[in-house]
């Protein structure tokens, strides 16, 4: 027996009511609050290291009071809270928006710096995360270019140097791998890349020394002497310098040499090109 039409309509109405009730429970209730109340709550959450909750409260400041003086500050504070929560994508989006809307704000330098950090701290392996490394370097360089005399620029320069040093270190690992397996030409190319691309890093003296090892292994002593002269001219006090001039003259590292004085005199006769 089919239910009557009024009964079917009543059942359908009840179903709609239940669905609407469920939706209303899922949807957060909007409660208008004073701006200072929201902002202070956000700060308290931030202090308690409840970063995601703090970020949402800072976002609420702008949502409820978009034209207040608190809204601008809340934008960058929300980005900072997302950064502290390791929500880097959200932080970067917020910082880009802050920079676009407030290009002359006194906190804009910090916004650029925090954006650079948000990229930099995502780098786990500079070779595997090549895109992130590029974005981090570009963002750090932008801080240096725009705010060269700021404390943010000084730290950005340091992080740029560390990133390049890490990149050079990865190239050195590959070069040593080839060297150990007797693949001297491939090894030379890697070490030469370090010398050309990462001239200011700490890996250059070793890269030059390893090139000397490769050239000697290939029987190219004149080329080895030329590279040794460059190493001696630029890094005369390094351990790689001592090992290299000994290796060129005796085929042994300095630690195995019995006549260091004679070797030094011979090395001094090699002129840099």
The mean pLDDT of 187-203, rounded to a whole number, is 94
Size of the chain in residues: 273
Take residue 24 and report the two structure tokens written for it.
Answer: 């209303």
Domain holding 260, by residue range, is: 203-273
Question: What percent of the chain stands above pLDDT 90?
Answer: 62
Which of 142, 146, 154 lies closest to 118, judged by CA? 142
The mean pLDDT of 22-33, rounded to a whole number, is 59
Q: Is residue 271 part of a domain?
A: yes
105-114, 122-131, 138-147, 257-266: which range is least confident on average?
257-266
Indicate the Cα dihedral angle 259, 265, 270, 272, nearest 10°.
110
- pLDDT tens column, 29-78: 667 788 888 899 999 999 999 999 999 999 999 998 988 889 999 999 99
What residues contact 121, with CB distance under 8 A and at least 6 apart? 88
Q: Is the pLDDT of residue 127 over 70?
A: no
pLDDT at 14 (0 to 100): 46
Q: Is residue 237 part of a domain?
A: yes
pLDDT at 211 (0 to 100): 96
Distance CA(210)–CA(206), nearest Å, equals: 6
Q: Is residue 219 part of a domain?
A: yes
Residue with the bigger pLDDT between 15 and 232: it is 232
Q: Is residue 210 part of a domain?
A: yes
pLDDT at 12 (0 to 100): 47
In this prediction, residue 198 has a pLDDT band, given cuts at 50, 70 and 90, of: very high
Q: Is residue 226 part of a domain?
A: yes
Q: Is residue 228 part of a domain?
A: yes
- pLDDT tens column, 183-193: 999 999 999 99
Distance CA(109)–CA(111), nearest Å, equals: 5
Q: Is the pLDDT of residue 79 over 80?
A: yes
Whether the CB-CB separation of 215 and 251 falls below 8 Å is answered with: no
Average pLDDT, the chain: 84
Question: What percent of the chain stands above pLDDT 70?
Answer: 79
Q: Is the pLDDT of residue 167 over 50?
A: yes
Q: Is residue 265 part of a domain?
A: yes
Q: Is the pLDDT of residue 95 over 50?
A: yes
pLDDT at 256 (0 to 100): 54
Q: Is residue 105 part of a domain?
A: no
Report the number of distinct structural domains present in the chain.
1
Distance CA(131)–CA(119), nearest Å, equals: 10
Q: Is the pLDDT of residue 120 over 80?
A: yes
- pLDDT tens column, 213-272: 999 999 999 999 999 999 989 998 888 988 888 888 776 665 554 444 434 444 444 444
- pLDDT tens column, 170-179: 899 999 999 9
Residue with the bigger pLDDT between 13 and 64: it is 64
What residues contact 165, with CB distance under 8 A and at least 6 apart? 198, 201, 202, 203
Whether the CB-CB separation of 112 and 147 falls below 8 Å is answered with: yes
């Amino acid at each position: 027996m089919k239910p009557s039409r009024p009964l079917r309509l009543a059942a359908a109405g009840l179903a709609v009511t239940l669905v609407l009730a469920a939706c209303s429970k899922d949807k957060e209730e909007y409660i208008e609050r004073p701006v200072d109340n929201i902002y202070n709550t956000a700060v308290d959450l931030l202090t308690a290291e409840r970063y995601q909750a703090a970020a949402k409260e800072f976002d609420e400041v702008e949502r409820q009071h978009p034209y207040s003086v608190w809204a601008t500050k809340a934008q960058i504070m929300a980005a900072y809270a997302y950064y502290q929560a390791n929500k880097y994508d959200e932080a970067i989006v917020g910082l880009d928006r802050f920079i676009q809307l407030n290009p002359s704000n006194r906190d804009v330098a910090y916004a650029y710096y925090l954006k650079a950090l948000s990229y930099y701290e995502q780098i786990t392996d500079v070779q595997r995360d090549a895109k992130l490394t590029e974005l981090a370097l570009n963002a750090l360089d932008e801080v240096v270019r725009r705010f060269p005399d700021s404390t943010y620029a000084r730290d950005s320069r340091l992080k740029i140097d560390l990133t390049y040093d890490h990149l050079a270190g990865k190239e050195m690992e590959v070069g040593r791998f080839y060297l150990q397996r007797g693949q001297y030409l491939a090894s030379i190319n890697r070490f030469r890349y370090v010398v050309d691309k990462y001239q200011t890093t700490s890996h250059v003296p070793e890269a030059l020394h390893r090139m000397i090892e490769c050239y000697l292994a290939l029987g190219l002593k004149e080329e080895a002497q030329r590279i040794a002269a460059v190493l001696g001219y630029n890094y005369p006090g390094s351990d790689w310098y001592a090992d290299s001039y000994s290796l060129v003259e005796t085929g042994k590292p300095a630690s195995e040499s019995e006549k260091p004085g004679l070797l030094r005199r011979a090395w001094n006769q090699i002129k840099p090109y």
